[in-house]
Amino acid sequence: MDNNIPWELYRSFFGVLQEGTLSGAARALGATQPTIGRHIAALEKSLGLVLFTRSQHGLLPTEAAQALRSHAQAMASTAAALQRAAASQGDGLTGVVRVTASDVVGVEVLPPILAELRERHPGIKVELVLSSRVQDLLQREADIAVRMLRPQQDQLLARHIGRITLGLHASPAYLARCGLPSTVEDLAQHSLIGFDQPTPYTRAAAKMLPGMQRERFALRSDSDLAQLALIRAGAGIGFCQLPLAMRDQLVRVLPAAYALELDTWITMHEDLRASRVCKAVFDALVAALTTYAAGAAT
C-alpha cells in the first residue's frame, strides 16, 4: 500500500461516494470527469482495493469503500474547517463560521440573532446547519453547536446557557373549538400531536409523561418543525418551547403535569479558542440564547 496518497484522490473518492457517478462528482468538485476517473483508479491501485462497481444507476461503493466512508468524511470536514480558519485570519472580524443547531432552534430562534450579528460584524459569514448529531464538532463538520445536552468530550469548550422548558400547548382557535382540558384524563377527548418513530429520548419522556405514548397521537411527525406548525394551525395539542409559545400566543395546557426541562449548551472545538471570528459568534450566541432561555424559566 502506498503511504503517500495525495489528498485530492480521497477528495474525488468522497465526491463519487456522495454523488454516485463520475460526472456528478466532477460537477460537485469543479473538475472534469476523466480527472475524477483517473483519481479513483489511482486510489484503488494505491490501496490495493476495488472501491466501486458499475451498475445501471452509476457507481456502487464496495464494502471496502463503505468502510472508508467515515474517514473520508472526516478528512473532507477537516479540510473545510482548515479553509474556514484560514479565511478568518487577518485584520478585522472577517471569515466563515459554521453553526449547527436543531431544526426548531435553527429556524425559529437563531435567524434574528444571526441577523443582528451580521449588522454588527458584516465581515462574518455564517453557515447554518440544521442537525442534532453530537459528532458534528469532533469531526469538524461545524465550528459551533447549540445542543440540548451537556457535551462529554474534553476537546470541546462548552457554556451552559440555562434550561428551556417544553410544555403542552394549543392555539386559542383550537381551544375555542374543543375546550381547555382541566385534567390529564380530559386529553383522551382531544387531538394530540407527537412523534412517529420512537427514539431513546421519546421513550424516556413518554415514561415520565402520562398519556404521551405514540398510539395516543392523532397527528404524528418526527419533525419538531412540523409538530410546531400543526399546533399553530389549530390541529391539536402538542409540545412547544415556552418562549416560542409566548411569542405565538399559544396557550399552555396542564402545566403541572407536563413539563420537560432541556439543558442548553453552546459548544465549540477547543482548537478554535484563538479564532476571533469564532469567539465573536460564540459570545453572541451565548448572550442571546441566555436571554432566550431565561424567558423559558417561567
Single-letter amino acid code for the residue at 106: G
Which of 88, 101, 105 lies closest to 128, judged by CA? 101
CATH number of 164-261: 3.40.190.10
Element (H, E) at 201: helix 200-208
How many Cβ atoms sit within 10 Å of the Cβ of residue 147? Answer: 23
Say what the pLDDT of residue 138 is: 56
What are the pLDDT tens digits along the chain (298 aa)? 556 788 889 889 999 998 999 999 999 889 999 999 999 999 999 999 999 998 877 889 999 999 999 888 888 777 777 776 666 665 567 888 999 999 999 999 999 999 999 999 999 999 999 987 665 665 667 889 998 877 776 667 889 999 999 999 999 999 999 999 999 999 999 999 999 998 887 888 878 888 888 999 999 999 999 999 999 999 999 999 999 999 999 999 999 999 999 899 999 887 777 788 888 999 999 999 999 998 755 4
- CA 219, distance to chain mean position in Å, is 24
Q: What is residue 222's predicted lDDT score, i.e. its pLDDT?
A: 93
pLDDT tens-digit profile of 122-177? 999 999 999 876 656 656 678 899 988 777 766 678 899 999 999 999 999 999 99
Top CATH class, 86-161+263-296: alpha beta
7-19 helix and 33-47 helix, angle to the nearest 10 degrees? 110
Grid cell, residue 120, equals: 454588527
Regarding beta strands 156-170 and 259-269, do their DSSP bridges make them parallel or antiparallel, or are they unpaired? antiparallel
Listed in sequence order, the DSSP H helices in 61-171 are 63-87, 103-104, 110-120
Say what the pLDDT of residue 3 is: 65
All CATH 3.40.190.10 domain ranges in the chain, comma separated: 86-161+263-296, 164-261
Comparing C-alpha atoms, which of 94, 188, 81 is closest to residue 141? 81
Class of domain 7-76: mainly alpha
d(CA 33, CA 43): 15
Question: CATH 1.10.10.10 region(s) of the chain?
Answer: 7-76
The pLDDT, as a whole number, for residue 179 is 96
pLDDT the model gives residue 16: 93
Strand runs labelled E in 178-271: 193-194, 219-220, 238-241, 251-252, 259-269
User: Structure pTM?
Assistant: 0.69
